Amino acid sequence: MKSNRWGSKDLGVGIGLRSPHFSEILENPPEVDFFEILTENYLDTNGYAAHVLDFVAERYPVVMHGVSMSIGSTDPIDFDYLAKVKALGEKTGARWLSDHLCWTGVNNKNTHDLLPLPYTEEILTHVVERIKTIQDFLGRPVAFENPSTYLEFAHSSMTEWEFLGRMAEEADCGILFDVNNVYVSAFNHSFDPLAYIDAVPADRVFQYHLAGYTDMGTHLLDTHSDHVVDPVWELFGHTLGKIGSRATLIEWDASIPDLGVLLAESEKARSWKEKEASNAA
């Protein structure tokens, strides 16, 4: 299966670099194919976290995943922030940068949440222009992740997957495809997750995310706090068949387990990739 249009490498299966695992990673570097870092956690620190990141970047491929580009916001783009992102990307040799299809704040105030947008032509134009500006500044394509959402706007004139696909084409950006987010949003908004997956432009996808969620009764909450559930693994298999093999990461950010548990989960992702590869052969 082909890579994306930028020819980015399928880095294999990775894990997020999280502080509870720092000492274990330094003492006994795990067998993982790559690490993903939460960009904002490393922009201003020069202490232990920076030391661990240096150690990791010398030994593994690193990709950067941010939460503050706020491509949907009506606030001005924060170029000071982007300059730091760019510098960190150069320092770590990050293979690619990613963020989210969302907005996080307005009037220079940040909620630090990934907030949903109405999916309209007007807002598509707004987002596309901002992404172009950001990518010009960074000098590289950025992959944007489909969010988990808990509300839909009545005035949306297209589905999220239409918006995401058109955004990627018109802004010439990448996609970080989060399979769990599709499952969560499909449950919350009663749409067919396969329709979403089948519409994603394969040649734009850099990476996959997998994660666990919390069932709140009335809705699913994307908490990154548990194992990936079987239906999401099934969707992952479908995604691999439709889009192809890409770098795949298990996100686990709350109730973070021992490193061994996380590595076992990532091995499960590897098994799915190998199974799909043999099916395709």
Partner 1 sequence: MRLESQNAIPLEKLQRWMYEVIVHPDDIESALASRSAEAEIPARRVGDFIKASRTMTPLQCVGVYHSMYLLRMGETLETDFPITAVFLGEKAFQELVRDYSGAYPSTSYTLDRFGDEFPSFLKEKEIGDAPAFLADLAKFEAAVTEVFNDTSSPVIGAGELEGLSQDAIASAVFRPIMALRLIEMDWDVTLQNDAYIAAESLPAPKAKKTFLAVFRRRWEVQTIKLDNAGYALLGSIIDGEKLGDALSAAFAVAENPDPAVIFSLFRDWMSLGLFSAIEA
Query: Min. distance of Cβ 40 from partner 1 in angstroms?
Result: 4
List residues near partner 1 by CB under 8 A: 40-41, 43-49, 51, 68, 72-74, 78, 81, 103, 105-113, 115, 117-118, 120-123, 126, 150-158, 188-190, 217-219, 221
C-alpha 223/C-alpha 226 separation (Å) is 8
CB of 243 to partner 1, least distance (A): 26
Q: How far is the CB of 31 from partner 1 (least distance, A)?
A: 25
Which distant-in-sequence residues (6+ apart) come within 8 Å of 219 by Cβ? 150, 187, 188
Closest to partner 1 by CB, 195 or 280: 195
Pairing of strands 214-215, 205-211: unpaired
Give 219 or 242: the residue with its C-beta nearer to partner 1.
219
Identify which of 214, 185, 253 has the alpha carbon closest to the alpha carbon of residue 16.
Answer: 253
Q: Identify which of residues 117 and 175 has a Cβ nearer to partner 1 in the complex.
A: 117
Nearer to partner 1, 220 or 243 (CB): 220
Residues 6 or more apart whose Cβ sits within 8 Å of residue 188: 148, 149, 150, 219, 220
Q: Determine which helix (DSSP H) or strand (DSSP E) holds 251, and give its type and residue range.
A: strand 247-251
CB of 13 to partner 1, least distance (A): 28
Decide whether 55 or 233 has the Cβ nearer to partner 1. 55
Minimum CB distance to partner 1, residue 1 (Å): 33
Residue 126: other Cβ atoms inside 10 A: 16
